Structure 1
Amino acid sequence: MLSIKDFSEMAHLSAQTLRYYHAEGLLVPARVDEQTGYRSYSFDQVADAMLISVLREAGLGVKQVRRALDEPDAAPGLLREHHAEVQRRRAEQDEAIRTAGDLLEAPPEPCLRRVPAMTVVSRLAPVTPLGWDRQEWDLTEAILRAATEDLLAAVRSCGATPAGTPWRMLAPGRASGAEGAFWLIQVPVLGGPPADVPQDAEVHRYEAAEELSITMPGRTSPAKYCTAIGRLLAYPLDEAFPDDDAFPDAAFPDIARLRHLVREDGVEFSVPVRSG
């Protein structure tokens, strides 16, 4: 039998960690003196300690390690699931690092531009959940991405050619209801209206307009959305249109017509400029 001190040195685990593993049922000593509480381990338990250490170093929690030890046949699958989750978190962290770098190197600022007229195919998207937590926000994003892909496929099947980045916006007059928010997916197309309109879709003309635009790097989030709106509203339009005949009254960004253009490197938020 090995004393806890000798076993600790052989297994490279502190006595405190061994006591913790004993309490959690991961590594129960071969013998515990009833009077002194002194723990003794068998030499064979060094291999058990080694496996526990490797699983813990791989990032598995105590409950996962216990399951892997109790169900050896399920352990490989458990490790694969954990590996997939680690890769997902690493991908998210890598994206967050890239986004942080972009934000630090070049903080997003609004720009004013002229958007040309275009033909647009539009369709209402499925209702998305209300709320601002990360889970609901990600679910909304997944629903809208799928709806965009469906409309792009329908446009192509009608013989039309998408032109540029599709966008989504809260549906005018149907922004929200008790069950969630209504969105409008819009796909710009080359040329005039397509000969056949996709089911449940409409074709209309998007007139040329002055627009304010800001691009937030990385995937969208509630904080980026609110930051974009705040900076668009703060843009000094009075300085951009001094005594302009096209804007005889005070110019303002029409936030109700906010467009979300999802690109590979981020999300562009764009609003038409109106006169009051």
Structure 2
Amino acid sequence: MTEPVRWMSIGEFARAARLTIKALRYYDREGLLVPARVDPGTGYRFYTPAQLATALRIGLLRRADVSIAAIRVILHDPTRGSEVLAAERARIEREAARAARSFALVDTLGATVATDLPVAVHRIPDRRVLWREATAAAEALEHAAAEAIEAVLARARRLGLDTTAPVVGRYPAALDGEVSFGVGVEIAPGAPVDTGTGSEVVTLPGGVFAGVDFTGAPALLPVAYHALFARLADDGVPVEGAVREYYLADPAEVGEDEMLTRVVHLVPDDYRPGWVRS
């Protein structure tokens, strides 16, 4: 004789699984743990004891900060479990290292903000660059830009170009949502480039730029942006369009804390810092 199914209310199931009712409803919406039965009249959710193992597994994975998307794959395709968990472990380790770095930077932030960063005018000529366009979520821009720079430098090495030439990044002045950006390495005037890569070679237009030179970790670059944007605002120059970052030192040689970055923004040809335009 078949044993009757033992139905557990959402409250009873939540207590047994050491989860909140809110979490169970969320996991239902995400398709991770769907109730075994929903009363058509009341909408009450019911679970079975057999579902406790899945609930406990989800709870443990969430406590380990494994993403919902990864958990979905683990539950629906167990053959990929090891692969997905390895990727999640690597992501969590990267985020932990980034957090540790941020804590360390807090100690230097006060002194960095207090540093007087002068704004200078730079006349930059048109330059051919080996260029790479990309997009990223605003909060992941620093990591995405670093990956794009590595990719464009690897491409430059394969083409036999000078990878000690200046590297430049172009970013939107305002960061919000998904952002488009580009990075490139300058090509020496007259240097031949395989015509098969024509789509990757662009001319970055020159002009007059106001800029701030900043020595320090990339995570602290907002300090340079603040100094530059505040100066332009005081001088009545609108901040719009793209901002460029010129990387003037190789972090592999000088270390991240000694990186020299020049942040520049296009300004009128007759601009001088401290002069308010009418």
TM-score by length of 2: 0.51
Between stretches 30-39 and 52-61, larger displacement belongs to 30-39
1:101 & 1:149 partners in 2: Cα distance?
A: 38
1:181 & 1:63 partners in 2: Cα distance?
A: 30
2:138 is equivalent to residue 138 of structure 1: no
Q: Relative to structure 1, is the Cα distance of residues 148 and 39 closer, same or farther in structure 2, using a 3 angstrom cutoff?
A: closer
2:217 is equivalent to residue 218 of structure 1: yes
Q: Relative to structure 1, is the Cα distance of residues 149 and 96 closer, same or farther in structure 2, using a 3 angstrom cutoff?
A: farther
Between stretches 1-10 and 261-270, larger displacement belongs to 261-270
Q: Relative to structure 1, is the Cα distance of residues 63 and 26 closer, same or farther in structure 2, using a 3 angstrom cutoff?
A: same
2:86 is equivalent to residue 80 of structure 1: yes
Judge conservation of contact 1:260–1:267 (CA < 8 Å) in 2.
Answer: yes
Give the SS at the match of 2:49.
coil
Number of aligned positions between the proteins: 196
Q: Relative to structure 1, is the Cα distance of residues 259 and 39 closer, same or farther in structure 2, using a 3 angstrom cutoff?
A: closer
Judge conservation of contact 1:95–1:218 (CA < 8 Å) in 2.
Answer: no
Judge conservation of contact 1:67–1:75 (CA < 8 Å) in 2.
Answer: yes
Deviation at 1:18, TM superposition (A): 2.2
Q: Tell me what 1:102 maps to.
A: 108
Q: Tell me what 2:70 maps to.
A: 64
Judge conservation of contact 2:131–2:185 (CA < 8 Å) in 1.
Answer: yes
Deviation at 1:185, TM superposition (A): 9.2
2:84 & 2:56 partners in 1: Cα distance?
A: 18
Judge conservation of contact 2:247–2:261 (CA < 8 Å) in 1.
Answer: yes
Quote the RMSD (CA, aligned, Å): 4.8
Spell out, residue by residue over 1:93-118, the C-alpha distance to the aligned partner (whole angstroms, 9 max, x if none). 2223333322224444469xxxxxxx
Deviation at 1:43, TM superposition (A): 1.8
Q: Tell me what 1:51 maps to.
A: 57
1:160-199 matches, cutoff 5 A: 168=166, 183=185
Q: Tell me what 1:20 maps to.
A: 26
Amino acid at match of 1:14: T
Q: Tell me what 1:174 maps to.
A: none
Q: Tell me what 1:260 maps to.
A: 248
Deviation at 1:22, TM superposition (A): 2.7
Deviation at 1:72, TM superposition (A): 0.9
Spell out, residue by residue over 1:242-266, the C-alpha distance to the aligned partner (whole angstroms, 9 max, x if none). xxxxxxxxxxxxxxxx881244123
Q: Relative to structure 1, is the Cα distance of residues 169 and 35 closer, same or farther in structure 2, using a 3 angstrom cutoff?
A: closer
Give the SS at the match of 2:249.
strand
Q: Quick one: percent identity of the two aligned structures?
A: 23
TM-score by length of 1: 0.51
Q: Relative to structure 1, is the Cα distance of residues 36 and 139 closer, same or farther in structure 2, using a 3 angstrom cutoff?
A: closer
Which structure has the larger Rg over C-alpha atoms? 1
Q: Relative to structure 1, is the Cα distance of residues 259 and 89 closer, same or farther in structure 2, using a 3 angstrom cutoff?
A: closer
Spell out, residue by residue over 1:52-74, the C-alpha distance to the aligned partner (whole angstroms, 9 max, x if none). 11122222333322221111111
1:11 & 1:181 partners in 2: Cα distance?
A: 49
1:229 & 1:139 partners in 2: Cα distance?
A: 26
Q: Which blocks of at least 5 consecutive residues in structure 2 are unaligned?
A: 1-5, 119-127, 169-181, 193-211, 233-245, 263-278
Between stretches 43-52 and 54-63, larger displacement belongs to 54-63
Amino acid at match of 1:3: M
Judge conservation of contact 1:103–1:217 (CA < 8 Å) in 2.
Answer: no
Structure in which a larger fraction of residues adopt helix: 2
Give the SS at the match of 1:36.
coil
Q: Relative to structure 1, is the Cα distance of residues 144 and 52 closer, same or farther in structure 2, using a 3 angstrom cutoff?
A: closer
Q: Tell me what 1:3 maps to.
A: 8
Judge conservation of contact 1:129–1:181 (CA < 8 Å) in 2.
Answer: yes
Amino acid at match of 1:35: G
Q: Which runs of 4+ in 1 moved over 6 A?
A: 130-133, 147-150, 228-233
Q: Which blocks of at least 5 consecutive residues in structure 1 are unaligned?
A: 112-123, 156-165, 171-179, 187-198, 201-212, 234-257, 271-276
Between stretches 1-10 and 25-34, larger displacement belongs to 25-34
